[in-house]
């Protein structure tokens, strides 16, 4: 079966140099989910033909015309252009650190080439919101994204129905009033902050949750543990240490 042409939007997750002038790019597409593409000639750079490798930075939102064949693992791109040109995400150090954290979370959770338009819409919307976010929203944005992303993979923590349920069992993904028989739980101010963050439906609401730097660090560590418990071979997040350092 030959490849057919399709228009789709995509968010770049990763690019690897291939040969002298090309890239192999991992892109989460609106139409086909996670896909790999060989993009030829984009690393050449002359005065007449400037290189186009910058289109394939992690987090870039692109409009694509792609060749697709469901029996192939590596596809080709016929045309690409910016779907949205960021104002701050690629140049602001803090926002770029958040962006790379979000992209790595998606990379580690999305493993199969299944299309999921709702997940794509969530990722796209989050990146657009982050680009324009205030410093207060940006500071809490990684927590918001990490908590909401869990919903697309079936392990979102359940919001407690009672104030008495003050311990979050990370293995079971639910709040309880007694300590579990294992070490994976959150309590006290950490559990309380997670409970409040889970109620946030729009990023603008993040300004209403006052968190200090130490508590944010703790929450990010807890969420990394939570993902590792629910996603096979999740491992450690390479971007987490950088994010915590940059955000103080």
Question: pLDDT tens, 102-149?
Answer: 999 999 999 888 899 999 999 999 999 999 999 999 999 999 999 999
Which domains does the chain show, CATH number per domain?
1-85 (2.40.50.140), 88-248 (1.20.1440.120)
Alpha-carbon gap, residue 150 to 9, rounded angstroms:
22
Task: Please name the residue ranges forming H helices in 51-206.
Answer: 93-109, 117-132, 135-149, 188-198
Centre a 10 Å sphere on the Cβ of residue 39 and count the other Cβ atoms it contains.
21
Residue pair 22/42 in contact by the 8 Å Cβ criterion: yes
How much is the pLDDT for 27? Answer: 98
Helix orientation angle between 117-132 and 93-109, rounded to the nearest 10 degrees: 170
Alpha-carbon gap, residue 54 to 41, rounded angstroms:
13
How much is the pLDDT for 162? Answer: 78
Q: What pTM value is reported for the model?
A: 0.93
Alpha-carbon gap, residue 227 to 61, rounded angstroms:
25
State both tokens at 186: 């959150």
At residue 126, φ and ψ (nearest 5 deg) are: -65, -40
Nearest of 240, 236, 213, 225 to residue 185 by alpha carbon: 225
How much is the pLDDT for 51? Answer: 67
Alpha-carbon gap, residue 99 to 87, rounded angstroms:
13
Question: pLDDT tens, 17-57?
Answer: 998 889 999 999 999 999 999 998 887 766 555 568 889 99
Mean pLDDT in residue range 5-20: 95
How much is the pLDDT for 153? Answer: 95
Query: Percent of the chain at pLDDT above 70?
Result: 96
Query: Percent of the chain at pLDDT above 90?
Result: 81
State both tokens at 216: 């944010």
SS3 content of the chain, % helix, strand, coil (to 5): 40, 25, 35
């Amino acid at each position: 079966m030959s490849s057919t042409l399709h228009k789709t939007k995509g968010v770049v997750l990763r690019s690897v140099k291939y040969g002298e002038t090309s890239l192999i790019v991992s892109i989460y597409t609106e139409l086909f989910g996670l896909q790999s593409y060989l993009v030829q000639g984009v690393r050449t750079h002359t005065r007449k033909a400037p290189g186009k490798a910058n289109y394939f930075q992690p987090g870039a939102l692109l409009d694509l015309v792609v060749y697709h064949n469901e029996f192939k693992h590596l596809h080709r791109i016929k045309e690409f252009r910016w779907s949205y040109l960021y104002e701050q995400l690629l140049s602001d150090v803090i926002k770029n650190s958040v962006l790379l954290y979000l992209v790595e979370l998606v990379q580690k959770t999305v493993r199969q080439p299944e299309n999921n338009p709702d997940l794509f819409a969530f990722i796209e919307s989050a990146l657009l919101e982050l680009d324009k976010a205030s410093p207060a929203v940006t500071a809490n944005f990684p927590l918001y994204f990490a908590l909401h992303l869990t919903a697309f993979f079936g392990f979102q923590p359940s919001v407690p129905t009672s104030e008495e349920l003050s311990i979050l069992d990370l293995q079971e993904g639910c709040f309880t009033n007694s300590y579990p028989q294992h070490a994976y739980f959150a309590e006290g101010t950490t559990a309380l902050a997670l409970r409040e963050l889970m109620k946030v439906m729009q990023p603008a609401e993040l300004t209403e949750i006052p968190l200090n730097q130490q508590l944010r660090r703790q929450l990010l560590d807890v969420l990394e543990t939570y993902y590792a418990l629910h996603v096979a071979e999740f491992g450690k997040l390479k971007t987490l240490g950088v994010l915590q350092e940059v955000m103080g």
